[in-house]
Structure 1
Amino acid sequence: MAHIALYRAWRPQTFHDMVGQQHIVQTLQNAIREDRLSHAYLFSGPRGTGKTSAARLLAKAVNCERGPTPEPCNECEPCRRIAAGAVMDVVEIDAASNRGVEEIRDIRDKVKYSPTEVRRKVYIIDEVHMLTTEAFNALLKTLEEPPAHVMFMLATTEPHRLPPTIISRCQRFEFRRVSLEEQAEWLQGICRQEGIEAEEEALVYIARLSDGGMRDALSLLDQISSFSDGRVTLQGATEATGGLPAEQFSRLAAAVRDSNASAVLAEVDEMMRAGKSADKCLEQLMHYFRDLLLAQLAPAASASAGRVASPAELKGMAEGFPRERLFAIIDVLNRYQSEMKYAAHPQTMFEIALLKLCTDSNSADGSSSGAAASRATAGGGGAEVQQLQRQVAALERKLEELQRSGIAIPSEGDSSSGGRSGGGSAVRGGGNGWGGRGSSGAGSAPKAARQRIKLDPFVASRGSQLALQAMGKWPQVLARVKEERVTVHAWLVDGEPVAYADDTVLVAFRNSIHRETTEKPANKQVIEKALTAVMGHPTELATTLQKEWQEALAGGSQAQAGQPEELQLATEDGASPPSEPLVDEAYKLFGEELVVIRDE
């Protein structure tokens, strides 16, 4: 491949050629000058940042005929032969393909022999994290106390996969990604040396795609220069790498801004006909909106942003998007990018993501609040009225959500009567049977006491004939829920119906997660619809945990045995609940615990 030739031609030959790693170069050169070289080094960092190149340069520096020297001469026989890989005492191993214990044992057996061609024997192990546990154990002793004539240099992109015992025996150097400015400047110098005519915007684009790796940048430069016959332009770079031109980004962003779904679909169709991949287009579009956000928040960071479009064009486009909407757009694109990895039809996911951006244009608080503020300023005296109307509408929405979630909204009569009674009356709640029953006037009562009082009506009526009939219909309810929505049925089967009172079925769950999911308004609506159909009259759902229900049962038994005054509070007229002969006989035969037989 052509780009390999260019990379080999511009592979670092001296420490001076190590772009962006000056801190590492200075440390290694000082160690050579002061004769304080370590027996083992660990070079870690992203791919293409010079880890293996630094290891080769260090091998040349310690074996140079003029050295050890801080800068290899590249003219003597050892330097030239090490660069060509022809010295048997400088061994480079790829741990990805030689990861077994046998290869490491072979190294351990050979390190004791003195070098035959150069001053020091050097072992360079690339991608060292790929070694097996047994291989690391075999390397450990040799790495800790190697002979004086041996040096180990380990290179890896994933240092966290190395055993701590290996890391602790090496001097570790972290190679960083090369900055955008350093890469662009270095590529410009290479283009001058190679006689390649290149636009500055194209070199910045290449540097951005390389993600801080000089090796990837050189490969892209050679690929693009071959594509465009020695002249590197931004348009040619975009076409050669499968990117999108800035004009297409602008048209797509304008369509999203204007909520023009037809224009969005037309742009997507044009991208697909041009052979672009949906996931790559989505990724680049997310970067474009990120650049729009930077154009608003940090206009001076244009040099480090790696933008495809010109700063003036980005600034004009960014003015059409509120800041909050840009954050929302990036969040949506990022979410769909994650889902696209597992999608059978990525193009469909890409279209849905863009259509969602068009339909969600009014959901961003920034745009609506900005428009409202402008209308309030223009309206003068009517601004306060409009603000009050918005507040009232928001309160009404919250009130509806509370009612749907099952919290009782007391009327004036309820609030006054609630102040007289300490609890015990079974008050019908809005959508949750136990949430609005037996509310005590003291809002600061302990949590356990509130739960016992709320469950009192169910404890009192759990053995009634009506309750037993309702419990017997539970399998039919489960069947209807399963037909309506299987996912809700999967959560509901964890619960067990334990009581029935005031047209409300109480279901006890073993797991709080199952209970909370069942209580969601959409799921609860499905269940109550099935209950109403089976029972023949409007029926609601109430939920609790098995532990809370058992505590309520224990409290009810104590009240019957030695606390008659609490039992009187649980009824409106103070009288004991009437006994049922059938229920008493059932207690004698089966006990007090309710057993429900499910037909799976």
Structure 2
Amino acid sequence: MSYQALYRVWRPQRFDDVIGQETMTQTLKNAIMTQQTSHAYLFTGPRGTGKTSAAKIFAKAINCHHQKDGEPCNQCATCQAITMGTLNDVIEIDAASNNGVEEIRDIRDKAKYAPTQADYKIYIIDEVHMLSTGAFNALLKTLEEPPANVVFILATTEVHKVPATIISRTQRFNFRRITAADLFKRMAYILDQKEMTYDPAALKVIAKAAEGGMRDALSILDQVLSFSDNHVTLENALDVTGSLTESMLADYVQTIQDSDTKKALALLQQILAEGKDAQRFIEDLIEYSRDLLLYQQAPELVLANEMDLLDEHFKTLSTQLPAERLYAVIDVLNETQQQLRFTNHPEIYLEVATVRLTQPQPVTTNQVSTPVATVASTDSAEVSALQKELAQLQATVAQLTANEPAAPVQPKAKPAKKISKKINRQAIYPVLADATRANLEQLKEVWPDLLNMLNVTKRAVMKVSEPVAASQGGVVVAFNYAILFERANNDQELLTTLESGLNRLTGNPFKVVLVPHDSWPDIRQEYLQNHDVTGDGESTPAEAGQAPAEPQTAEVVQKAQDLFGEAVVVQPD
């Protein structure tokens, strides 16, 4: 028999063999044991995390007459036929090559017939997001009125491309990336079963390079085994993956700390001369800088993820490099990573990035008088209080300059918001003019899918935001932290990505406007007070100094509820 790849030989045959997806597999087993299975499932998640394998195991378990605790026996004729792919009642379809209307109509017509050998007819549609619009519409009718004894399992790596009408008619299971520790354990188990020798450090390098995919990890392991004559060594694992050793990464980052451009360029030439991949080099550097940043705040988290690969040099660098410097390093590396996608000369961009990273940083008064470790560990609440005090002093000076004599400053007066001048009210008010609660709920429903479309850096910035008002053509997004609001507001690429993403998800063009969360209530109140909410273009009695009439007040309250929802509107007594 010809040689089979490791990921095919060691493909999971039971739910308990699916690594890193315990929540999903336990839920499926419970549904089978209690006979509460659905007619349609949607398995989403990154590649190589077990979606298709889980679908085939489900097909065996639901049709197995000897299943125990929701697991298939893998011994009966039905289980073995499904494993071999010879059972006619389990149909696996690749939507990438069968994405037309006619193919889906053929499925719909054949689904009406009862299964011939098994109890249930199972359709597994892989990469379902590749279906055309017409094919999705044809599939929708079958999902709305499914025939008896038919189960559809849809698998996709890009769930944001699947119409909401399809998603709402399925039970959705989100498969997550497999941790490096779980990948390491699985590879070690396989090599032990095959009685092959390995260097544990080599498996850790492969686990990190796989980026959460079991299939990728086993494919790389297969390649290393072929490269190293059935013995897994660290050197061969580094050569196959194009990764760098921890010591080499530490030496490069040390040149950044020392601002030693000449040594950094020499080290870069050495890395490229060894044939290391430019993209992998940048990715390793970003991950190493991220680990340095996290180690300053949560050492135990980094130690768990890195599986004891950290050395003393790493720990020393974590105390030498302040968080602000690491932010700048990650920004430069991320920018370089984008540039490498569109060039045939990556070494040029790497050299430019190296020069930028090793340029001496301007030293402020605080940096001269305060140790770096102390600056890195400054309490964020104290910094925030100092910023508010500074904003209050700036507001007082502006008031004294504008008005002579100035009104006395009350000690407990509410400090002016430092970022209020950057809030684009001219863009916010048109959104509020047409905003409705229904539009806001629609935006909140697709917001998680929008965040999943962003890269890791931009997703981290947007994690602390949420839509607070929406119309047919615009959305107001509030940020919990002022510093992240400023960063996002100045990132035109991020705003463009958000607007294009919303257009893809909803089919409507959206203008995205950002506000700080603590400024949002004031902006909302200003809009209600300064704009004609009654629709007649005249000022309300309250603006004229008169007591408002009850009908008009009711209209104002109704307008506010339409804009912001009943939960956040308090009616006047």
Please report the TM-score for the alignment, with normalisation by the length of structure 2: 0.61
Separation (CA, whole Å) in 2 of partners of 1:158 and 1:98? 17
Instruction: Call closer, same or farther: CA 1:308–1:355 in 2, change over 3 Å.
Output: farther
Deviations 1:61-106 (A, max 9, x none): 1222425971111111111111111111111000001000010011
Matched, 1:371 2:376: no
Maintained 8 Å contact 2:198/2:231: yes
User: What amino acid maps onto 1:370 in structure 2?
Assistant: Q
Deviation (angstroms), 1:159: 1.5
Q: 1:224 to 1:9 in 2, by over 3 A?
A: same
Query: Residue in 2 aligned with 1:7?
Result: 7
Preserved CA contact (<8 Å) 2:40 2:153: yes
1:169 is aligned to 2:169: yes
Distance 1:192 1:202 in 2: 15
Aligned-pair CA distance for 1:9: 1.4
Q: Secondary structure at the match of 2:173?
A: strand
* Contact 2:5–2:219 (CA under 8 A) maintained in structure 1: no
Name the structure 1 match of 2:83.
83
Letter of the aligned partner of 1:230 in structure 2?
N
1:452-485: per-residue Cα shift (whole Å, max 9, x none)?
xxxxxxxxxxxxxxxxxxxxxxxxxxxxxxxxxx
1:266 alignment partner, SS class? helix
Does the residue aligned with 1:11 lie in a helix, a strand or coil? coil
Q: CA deviation at 1:216?
A: 1.2
Alpha carbon RMSD of aligned pairs, Å?
2.6
Q: Which residue of 2 aligns with 1:312?
A: 312
Work out whether residues 282 and 337 of structure 2, in 8 Å CA contact, stay in contact via their aligned partners in 1: yes
Q: Is the 8 A contact 2:126 2:154 kept in 1?
A: yes
The equivalent of 1:233 in structure 2 is: 233
CA distance in 2, matches of 1:94, 1:374: 59
Q: Does 1:16 align with 2:16?
A: yes
| C-alpha distance 66-112 of structure 1, shift in aligned 2 (>3 A) | same
Offset, 1:3: 9.2
Query: How is 1:376-387 mapped onto 2 (pairs within 5 angstroms)?
Result: none
Verify the 8 A CA contact 1:19 1:178 in the aligned structure 2.
yes
Q: 1:177 to 1:4 in 2, by over 3 A?
A: farther
Conserved in 2, the CA contact under 8 Å of 1:325 and 1:364? no
What runs of 5+ residues in structure 2 fail to find an aligned partner?
Answer: 373-400, 405-573
Cα distance in 1 for partners of 2:307, 2:260 equals 25
**CA separation in 2, counterparts of 1:181 and 1:83?**
28
Tell me what 1:57 maps to.
57
Kindly report which structure 2 residues correspond to 1:115-514, keeping only aligned pairs within 5 A, or say none: 115-306=115-306, 310-343=310-343, 345-359=345-359, 361-363=360-362, 365=364, 369-373=366-370
Structure 1 residues 23 and 29: CA distance shift in structure 2, 3 A = same
Alignment correspondent of 1:31: 31
Q: 2:161 corresponds to which letter in structure 1?
A: R
Contact 2:220 2:240 in 1 (8 A): no
| CA distance in 1: counterparts of 2:306 and 2:371, whole angstroms | 35
Segments of 5+ residues of structure 1 without an aligned counterpart are 376-414, 420-600
Counterpart residue number, 2:48: 48
SS in 1 for 2:35: coil
Query: Residue 307 of structure 1: CA displacement?
Result: 7.1
**Secondary structure, in 3 states, of the residue corresponding to 2:5?**
helix
Give me the whole-angstrom Cα distance separating, in 2, the residues matched to 1:195 and 1:152: 40
Q: C-alpha separation between the residues in 2 aligned to 1:84 and 1:255? A: 56
Cα distance in 2 between the residues matched to 1:348 and 1:94 = 41
Q: Distance in 2 between matches of 1:155 and 1:261?
A: 49
Q: 2:117 and 2:239 mapped to 1: Cα distance?
A: 50
What displacement does 1:317 show?
A: 3.2
Deviations 1:286-320 (A, max 9, x none): 22222233333332223333379533231133333
Question: Residue 480 of structure 1 aligns with which residue?
Answer: none
Distance 1:39 1:147 in 2: 9
Tell me the alpha carbon deviations over residues 524-574 of structure 1, each in whole angstroms, 9 at most, x when there is no partner: xxxxxxxxxxxxxxxxxxxxxxxxxxxxxxxxxxxxxxxxxxxxxxxxxxx
Q: 1:202 Cα deviation (Å)?
A: 2.3
| Structure 1 residue 4: Cα displacement | 5.4
Residue deviations 1:408-447 (CA, integer Å, cap 9, x gap): xxxxxxx9xx99xxxxxxxxxxxxxxxxxxxxxxxxxxxx
Alpha-carbon distance change, 125 to 235 in structure 1, aligned in 2, over 3 angstroms: same
How far apart are 1:230 and its partner, in Å? 2.3
Write the distance in 1 (CA, Å) between the matches of 2:106 and 2:246: 56
Per the TM alignment, residue 8 of structure 1 is displaced from its structure 2 partner at its CA by 1.3
For residue 155 of structure 1, give the secondary structure of its aligned residue in structure 2: strand
Cα distance in 2, alignment partners of residues 68 and 309 from structure 1: 41
Deviation track 1:160-215 (CA, whole Å, cap 9, x = no partner) reads 21112211111111111122222222222222112122233322222222121111
CA contact (8 A) 1:94 1:125 kept: yes
- The residue type equivalent to 1:362 in the other structure is Q
SS of equivalent to 2:154 = strand
C-alpha contact 2:52 2:126 (8 A) present in aligned 1: yes
For 2:319 and 2:34, locate their aligned partners in 1 and report how far apart those are by CA, in whole Å: 58
Following superposition of structure 1 onto structure 2, how do residues 537-556 of structure 1 map, counting pairs within 5 Å? none
* Pair member with larger Rg: 1
Contact kept? 1:33, 1:69, Cα under 8 Å? yes
Q: Determine if contact 1:3/1:220 at 8 Å carries over to the other structure.
A: no
2:99 pairs with 1:102: no
Deviations 1:324-371 (A, max 9, x none): 322222222222222332345321111111111111x32365xx6333
Native 8 Å contact 1:121 1:149 kept in 2: yes
In structure 2, do the counterparts of structure 1 residues 159 and 317 end up closer, same or farther at CA, with 3 Å as the change threshold? same
Q: Is the 8 A contact 1:61 1:69 kept in 2?
A: no
Bigger mean CA offset, 251-260 vs 20-29: 251-260
Pick closer, same or farther for the CA change 1:295–1:35 going to 2, 3 Å: closer
Amino acid at match of 2:80: R
Deviation at 1:40, TM superposition (A): 1.0
Task: Tell me how far apart the structure 1 counterparts of residues 295 and 67 of structure 2 sit (CA, whole Å).
Answer: 52
CA 1:308–1:353 in 2, change beyond 3 Å: closer, same or farther?
farther
What's the CA shift for 1:231? 2.4
CA contact (8 A) 1:302 1:311 kept: no
State the number of aligned residues.
375
Task: Give the counterpart letter for 1:89 in structure 2.
Answer: D
How far off is 1:27 after superposition?
1.3
- Of 114-123 and 282-291, more deviation after overlay is shown by 282-291
> Which residue in the other structure is 2:378 paired with?
none
Distance in 2, Cα, partners of 1:253 & 1:374? 20
Hey, what does 1:485 align to over in structure 2? none
In structure 1, C-alpha distance between the alignment counterparts of 2:177 and 2:368, rounded to whole Å = 43
Q: Residues 180, 148 of structure 1: CA spacing in aligned structure 2 closer, same or farther, 3 A cutoff?
A: same
Q: Which whole-Å CA distance do the structure 1 matches of 2:281 and 2:254 have between them? A: 16
- Do 1:295 and 1:311's aligned partners in 2 also have CA atoms closer than 8 Å? no
Contact 1:291/1:307 (8 A) holds in 2: no
